[in-house]
Amino acid sequence: MGRWDHILDQKPQDLRNFPPPIDEWLDESLKARYAKVVSRLGRPELETYRVAVELAREEMLREYELIDAFCRSPEYKRLLPNELEEQTAHFMTRYLVDSALAFQEATQDKFRRRDLAALMEKVEDRLLRGYRLRL
């Protein structure tokens, strides 16, 4: 068993059974912002998952300019054609990033952000089975 296995068994499962459980909302404005996302019927589009995991991976690498350029690109609009898919991708990205940073904190910063980016790649492998997006 690898060092990520216990996490891998949890997070991708949560995202496959969308929406993932939210134990508590720390910010009421975020709860309101994502109300349509967490109450949506059915799972998000596959492209939404691809965008969310890649954005989370790039955020772990602190590639903010790359993320910004992608979010302004025609490819972004093609992959996320409506507001619900766009908001869902942002919600999932935030969920993945917050989960990874909570993991980092729980391990007392034993893992660097590059390690967390590798974790996102493992989540991506399990969740998307090789159907990756790279910016």
pLDDT digits (tens, 9 = 90+) for 64-103: 999 999 999 999 999 999 999 999 999 999 999 998 998 8
Per-residue pLDDT for 114 more than 80?
A: yes
Per-residue pLDDT for 8 more than 70?
A: no
What is the Cα–Cα distance from 3 to 15, expressed in whole angstroms? Answer: 21
CB contact set of 5 (below 8 Å; sequence gap of 6+): none
| Helices (H), ranges, the chain | 5-8, 11-16, 28-33, 35-38, 46-60, 64-71, 74-79, 83-106, 113-128
What is the Cα–Cα distance from 40 to 30, expressed in whole angstroms? Answer: 16
Q: Which pTM value belongs to this model?
A: 0.84
Query: What value does the mean pLDDT of the chain take?
Result: 87
pLDDT digits (tens, 9 = 90+) for 20-39: 888 788 889 988 999 999 99
CA-based nearest residue to 113, from 66, 58, 64 = 58
Per-residue pLDDT for 12 more than 80?
A: no
pLDDT of amino acid 119:
87
